Amino acid sequence: MTTTETTAIKGGEFLIRDTHASEIFTPEDFNEEQKMIRQQCEDFLAKEVWPKLDEIDSMKNPRLMPEILDKAGELGLLGTSVPQELGGFGMDFNTSMLVAEVLGAGHSVAVAVSAHTGIGTLPILYYGNDAQKQKYIPKLASGEWKAAYCLTEPDSGSDANSGKTKAVLSKDGKHYLITGQKMWITNGGFADIYVVFAKIDNDKNLTGFIVERSFGGITMNEEEKKMGIKGSSTRQIFFNDCPVPVENMLSERENGFKIAVNILNIGRIKLGVAAIGGSKATLSKAINYAKERKQFGTSIANFGAIKYKLAESAVKIYASESAHYRASQNIDDAYNAFIAGGMESGKARLKALEEFAIECAILKVHGSEVLDYVTDEGVQVYGGMGFSAEGPMDRAYRDARINRIFEGTNEINRLLTIDMLLKRAMKGTLDLMGPAMAVQKELMGIPDFGAGEEEGLFVKEKKALANLKKAGLMAAGAAVQKFMMKLSDEQEILMNLADMLIEGYVAESVLLRVEKLIQQRGEKACEIEKEMAIIYLHEAIEKAASAGKSAVTSFAEGDELRLMLLGLKRFTKIETYNLKNARRKVADYMIEKGKYPF
């Protein structure tokens, strides 16, 4: 994909744009260097993390986690996205996604690494001035210093800008004295550097500060007792007149909320891909257990009910992975285009991420919900052993759950996807009105019965996908017309619309990935992948139909409702396919390979 081609792709545009398979990046496109990095991450987990999971979760040795981070630092895993001149490896976003994916199978260590490299380091990398970057980034990239991010407070969670922590300029004008309580701070117990958000005097908005533990005035509670990720340090931190030199303010006064939001945005897509890494590891375990466990004289992997769970898990993982790397390449391409236009690197990275903020929110939701599905079914495949604290599913199940809560809860991210999309439409960045009007017009016209006559790869599926998008546009357009500015009060409808959007994006991504794969390897070599794409599309359409129905029936009545229900039926129609057989093929292939093999 060339830069000129990709600069044309805008965030959120997938809803109204036909993307070609050649335009998307797929995990099959990773080069040799990236594959080596993947291997290095796998080796790190196998040597430093998996044998120590119980010890890590016991929290008996508070030095263990920082020591593991030191090892990750020695291997260069903490500096992949840091520029070379600041002590990192200056790799592209896609490569840092790959690292996040593989390390995502590292349970509490995955959380510690991602908090350090993401929300801990990136505010300084992207918003710090030169002196701040020179002072902090090399030590963070090497792991010599560990970082934490202090935004949440007891009374300020999802409503992050409402924090009460205060920063007051000292009499001599040299320091800000920070006072307040932060909560749920990952890496809090051992971090050397805290990125802290506080309000100066009576400001409306937050300001960011780089706070060194050694500044003093910092105390903390004991480690939180949590349902999962027990080995990840999570503390309440108290700042008591903590003196922060004025030169440690990040960016400008009152720019903190913007920093916090933009940094969480990067974290979202990384969290999504890490969840996919965790899902793959969990599914591989479930496949092996299903092969080994015998009941009624045969391996449970021979039962259709078990094959269904294994196949469904694989389909969701494969589809989500396709969408993650599609988006991350879009981000890299947008970055390259900004750089080519003369923009500074940090700014270009942020602008590129901001452009694809809708996709980042979608992927956070999808990745974390795939992980929950896979771990839940993993427990089920293991049966009683799944419920045993001695088995591997116990930790996987408990650790998975947090992903729907942090980096913006999935409710907040669903709301954001639609909010951002509508804002882009209102600003004129995305022409949603034109396509939405066209759908309304089509609804009044005679249905097109000509589908399915053309020959070729995924012709019917692509038609069904285009219709799925129309269903979304129809429901969203009608809701906007009905509620106008009051739509934000109708959260149930917004959740439905978000689900339609999410399913459309992921279904398109997996279809395009498999189409590209078939172009590269031939249809015969991609038989299983093709089944997976078709299964996902069918399920996506079913979900969109249900979400769409739920949305329109909550605000339309009479003829208008009848017309929209007819429209939904028309736009979510797909020729029947034997999904049971398709799932069996996927499951049998994985059972033969003894792992998630794609």
User: Residue 184, interface with ligand FAD (CB under 6 A)?
Assistant: yes
Q: Looking at the DSSP assignment, which residues form a beta bridge with residue 198? A: 207
Q: What single DSSP character describes residue 289?
A: H
At residue 551, the 3 state secondary structure works out as: helix
Which one of 402, 468, 500, 545 is in contact with ligand FAD (CB under 6 A)?
A: 402
Q: State how far the Cα of 324 lies from the Cα of 318, in Å rounded to an integer.
A: 10
At residue 501, the 3 state secondary structure works out as: helix
Quote the tokens at residue 239: 């700042």
Indicate if 144 belongs to the active site. Answer: no
Q: State how far the Cα of 219 lies from the Cα of 369, in Å rounded to an integer.
A: 36
Q: Hey, what's the torsion of the CAs at 520, 523, 526, 532, to 10 degrees?
A: 120
User: Residue 150, interface with ligand FAD (CB under 6 A)?
Assistant: yes
User: Residue 152, interface with ligand FAD (CB under 6 A)?
Assistant: yes
User: Residue 375, interface with ligand FAD (CB under 6 A)?
Assistant: no
If the CB atoms of residues 218 and 306 are measured against ligand FAD, the closer one turns out to be 218
Q: Residue 576 Cβ, how far from ligand FAD at the closest point, in Å?
A: 37
Would you say 208 and 260 are in contact if contact means Cβ atoms under 8 Å apart? Answer: yes
If the CB atoms of residues 160 and 476 are measured against ligand FAD, the closer one turns out to be 160
Number of residues counted as binding ligand FAD (CB under 6 A): 19
Q: Residue 490 Cβ, how far from ligand FAD at the closest point, in Å?
A: 12
Quote the tokens at residue 253: 């006064």
User: Residue 61, interface with ligand FAD (CB under 6 A)?
Assistant: no
Quote the tokens at residue 294: 């015998």
Stretch that binds ligand FAD, among 6-14, 180-188, 322-330, 334-342 (CB under 6 A): 180-188
Catalytic residue among 407, 503, 531, 539: 407
Stretch that binds ligand FAD, among 184-192, 323-331, 471-479, 494-502 (CB under 6 A): 184-192
If the CB atoms of residues 38 and 226 are measured against ligand FAD, the closer one turns out to be 226
Stretch that binds ligand FAD, among 407-415, 467-475, 494-502, 582-590 (CB under 6 A): 407-415
Dihedral class, residue 223 (left if φ above 0, else alpha if ψ from -120 to 50, else beta): beta
Which one of 89, 145, 149, 325 is in contact with ligand FAD (CB under 6 A)?
A: 149
Would you say 326 and 278 are in contact if contact means Cβ atoms under 8 Å apart? Answer: no
Which one of 411, 419, 442, 588 is in contact with ligand FAD (CB under 6 A)?
A: 411
Q: State how far the Cα of 292 lies from the Cα of 286, in Å rounded to an integer.
A: 10
Please state the φ and ψ torsions of residue 59, each to the nearest 5 degrees.
60, 20
Q: Residue 480 Cβ, how far from ligand FAD at the closest point, in Å?
A: 19
Say which residue the tokens 């991010």 belong to: 149
Enumerate residues 6+ apart whose C-beta is below 8 A from 63: 190
At residue 219, the 3 state secondary structure works out as: strand
User: Residue 419, interface with ligand FAD (CB under 6 A)?
Assistant: no
Stretch that binds ligand FAD, among 13-21, 266-274, 406-414, 577-585 (CB under 6 A): 406-414
Q: Residue 302 Cβ, how far from ligand FAD at the closest point, in Å?
A: 39
Q: What single DSSP character describes residue 10?
A: -
Enumerate residues 6+ apart whose C-beta is below 8 A from 234: 184, 185, 186, 188, 223, 224, 226
If the CB atoms of residues 150 and 422 are measured against ligand FAD, the closer one turns out to be 150
If the CB atoms of residues 76 and 188 are measured against ligand FAD, the closer one turns out to be 188
Which one of 41, 115, 276, 465 is in contact with ligand FAD (CB under 6 A)?
A: 115
Q: Residue 369 Cβ, how far from ligand FAD at the closest point, in Å?
A: 14
DSSP string, 525-541: GGHHHHHHHHHHHHHHH
Straight-line distance from the first to the last Cα atom of the chain, in angstroms, rounded to the nearest whole number:
23
User: Residue 295, interface with ligand FAD (CB under 6 A)?
Assistant: no
Which one of 91, 124, 185, 337 is in contact with ligand FAD (CB under 6 A)?
A: 185
Stretch that binds ligand FAD, among 149-157, 416-424, 445-453, 577-585 (CB under 6 A): 149-157
Distances (CA, A) of 451 to 18, 459, 525, 544, 573: 17, 8, 27, 20, 11
Quote the tokens at residue 138: 């090399």
Q: Looking at the DSSP assignment, which residues form a beta bridge with residue 169? A: 176
Which one of 16, 59, 405, 451 is in contact with ligand FAD (CB under 6 A)?
A: 405
Cα–Cα–Cα angle for 175, 181, 183, nearest 5°? 130
If the CB atoms of residues 185 and 323 are measured against ligand FAD, the closer one turns out to be 185
Q: Residue 400 Cβ, how far from ligand FAD at the closest point, in Å?
A: 12
Q: Which residue is nearest to ligand FAD (CB)?
A: 157
Which one of 158, 219, 481, 581 is in contact with ligand FAD (CB under 6 A)?
A: 158
Which one of 157, 217, 346, 435 is in contact with ligand FAD (CB under 6 A)?
A: 157
Binding mask 210-249 for ligand FAD (x = CB under 6 A): ----------------x-------x---------------
Quote the tokens at residue 550: 């739920």
Distances (CA, A) of 255 to 89, 205, 406, 430, 508: 28, 7, 22, 27, 36
User: Residue 406, interface with ligand FAD (CB under 6 A)?
Assistant: yes
Would you say 150 and 187 are in contact if contact means Cβ atoms under 8 Å apart? Answer: no
Provide the residue count of the chain.
Answer: 598
Q: Residue 184 Cβ, how far from ligand FAD at the closest point, in Å?
A: 3
Query: Which of positions 429-488 make contact with ligand FAD (CB under 6 A)?
Result: none
Handedness of CA 51, 54, 60, 65 (dihedral sign): positive
User: Residue 186, interface with ligand FAD (CB under 6 A)?
Assistant: yes
User: Residue 162, interface with ligand FAD (CB under 6 A)?
Assistant: no
If the CB atoms of residues 149 and 571 are measured against ligand FAD, the closer one turns out to be 149
If the CB atoms of residues 38 and 166 are measured against ligand FAD, the closer one turns out to be 166
- Catalytically active residues are 407
Residues within the interface to ligand FAD (CB under 6 A): 115, 149-152, 157-158, 184-186, 226, 234, 402, 405-406, 409, 411-412, 491
